[in-house]
Structure 1
Amino acid sequence: MTYLDPVPPRFESGTSYTLGFWVLQHGTHPFEGSMNPVGLRLTRADGKTMEFKGIGLAEAAHYSASVVVPKGVWKVEGIQGPFQPYAVGTLTVPGALRINPLPPGQADMIAQTEQRYWGDVRPPGFKPGTTTPAAEMPAASAAPVVTVTASPPPPAPASDGGVPAYTLLLAAAGGAVATWAVLGLPAARRRRRAEDEPDRTQEDTIVISG
């Protein structure tokens, strides 16, 4: 069976309208097989026929179709895949859509059926379905914080007498400089003095020519 969602109160020729509808097996639940094709078929008294393809919506067995209908009186049918078309009602353009009454006992069957397929968005006349709440996910635990503490640098090794090694190195370097100052400086002065004195060897030599 095909049920229409609430429709506009009036239809005009050449105006686009989007109609929602439900295709249900036995008029109570979605068909578990392949429902194809799905749509709305409009047939005028002169034999002109128009078909509007249904587009599946988020809810099970829920579809929509955009229609533009010329003037006239049209028989509206639901195209229901492998099942026979269902007579929905009569559309007069310009004018309104008159929905056919449900088959005898169908309204009682809908009221007594406990449905589990739809929530707030559901076929007209159906009670809200029971929904299973999603299981709560455990809260993610925070990642452990690792604190890294830098170790202080090790102290410099001390000599046997308790004096640090770098102190001994400085003392040795100072001694070497002092020794150079005592021994090297006089020698340098003597060399400089020898260079400054004139060479008297040539002056003391007498050349006698023969």
Structure 2
Amino acid sequence: MRWILALLVAGWLGGTSGGWAETSLDPAPGRFAAGTSYTLGFWVLQHGTHPYEGELTPVGLRFTRAGGESLTFPGTPLPEAGHYAASVVLPAGDWKVEGLQGIFAPYAAGTVSVPGGLKAEPARKESIDAFVAQGADYWGAVRPPGFPDLPGEPASAARPTPGTAAAPGTAAPGTAAPGTVAAPGTAAPGTVAAPGTAAPGTVADSAPAAAVPPPSPVRVAEGAGVPAWTLPLAAAGGAALVGAGWWLARRRAAEDEEPPLPRDPSAETIVISG
């Protein structure tokens, strides 16, 4: 029954609230001086009850005075859903303040005299009643003027602006765009993980594979720069070379010590016949 009432009230407000949206101004400085910069906060709420879900541009404040002169100051989104801020500098005169609401029609938000003060239009009672009836609260301590704090957990805020990047670590697995690099441990099958950051059991372009056990660690002798198990082999090889060299030296020495063969005197006799 409450949601039916909320829809009926919101539908009635749609025809009278700036093309289905309303702008409410935050409390402003007590006095405005000509040529001085001021920052004004304001809220743009669809149906006057909730933040618009999606990209809403352009958003800002427009000041118009008699004679048709108009000044427009763009709004910058603040952390709260539907909340914006604009820095304004006005010449002397009486100005009408309008909220620029993207796809919605401009909304009369108040008047300001320079020098003098700003008179903001309060949030419509019908909008606040519809907000309470729908039972969805989108804000914490910082909220539109006049909107009560509803019990319960805050409702989801407006969706992120299309084209914006998701916060580190918040992308759902399998949602990375083709050709993008997934965060460590979040690469879905078919996506490319950053070098050295793929989750255990995943590969760059296929389904999860069985984990391969790491090789056994090899201890290295301190200061040697080679594995310790090679040292005994090197020592044995060196001993073998020394032994072989010793054996060759003894053999050559034995050959040098052998007595010369006996000489045959007949082989040196020359016979002359005659």
Q: Is the 8 A contact 1:13 1:70 kept in 2?
A: yes
Normalising by structure 2, we get a TM-score of: 0.50
Unaligned runs of 5+ in 2: 1-21, 158-169, 171-184, 186-198, 201-213, 220-227, 261-274
The amino acid that maps onto 1:26 is: H
Matched with 1:180 is 256
Matched residue of 1:105: which SS? helix
| Structure-1 separation of matches of 2:77 and 2:241 | 88
Q: CA deviation at 1:85?
A: 1.9
| Structure-2 separation of matches of 1:18 and 1:64 | 7
Structure of higher CA gyration radius: 1
Identity %: 48
Matched with 2:39 is 18
Q: Is the 8 A contact 2:47 2:127 kept in 1?
A: no
| Structure 2 residue 229 is matched with structure 1 residue 151 | yes
Aligned equivalent of 1:85, options 87, 93, 106 = 106
| Structure-1 separation of matches of 2:243 and 2:72 | 104
Matched residue of 1:40: which SS? strand
RMSD over equivalenced CA pairs, Å? 3.8
Q: CA deviation at 1:4?
A: 1.9
The amino acid that maps onto 1:31 is: Y
The 3 A distance-change label for structure 1 pair 18 and 169 is same
Deviations 1:72-124 (A, max 9, x none): 22111112223222111121211221112332332333344443644555433
Matched with 2:73 is 52
Matched with 1:35 is 56
Matched with 2:85 is 64
The 3 A distance-change label for structure 1 pair 166 and 67 is closer
| Structure-1 separation of matches of 2:216 and 2:243 | 41
Higher-RCO chain (CA-CA 8 Å, sequence separation at least 6): 1
Unaligned runs of 5+ in 1: 158-163, 185-210
The 3 A distance-change label for structure 1 pair 90 and 168 is closer
Matched residue of 1:20: which SS? strand
| Structure 2 residue 120 is matched with structure 1 residue 102 | no
The 3 A distance-change label for structure 1 pair 168 and 87 is closer
Matched with 1:170 is 246
Deviations 1:178-203 (A, max 9, x none): 5425659xxxxxxxxxxxxxxxxxxx
The amino acid that maps onto 2:250 is: G
Aligned length: 173
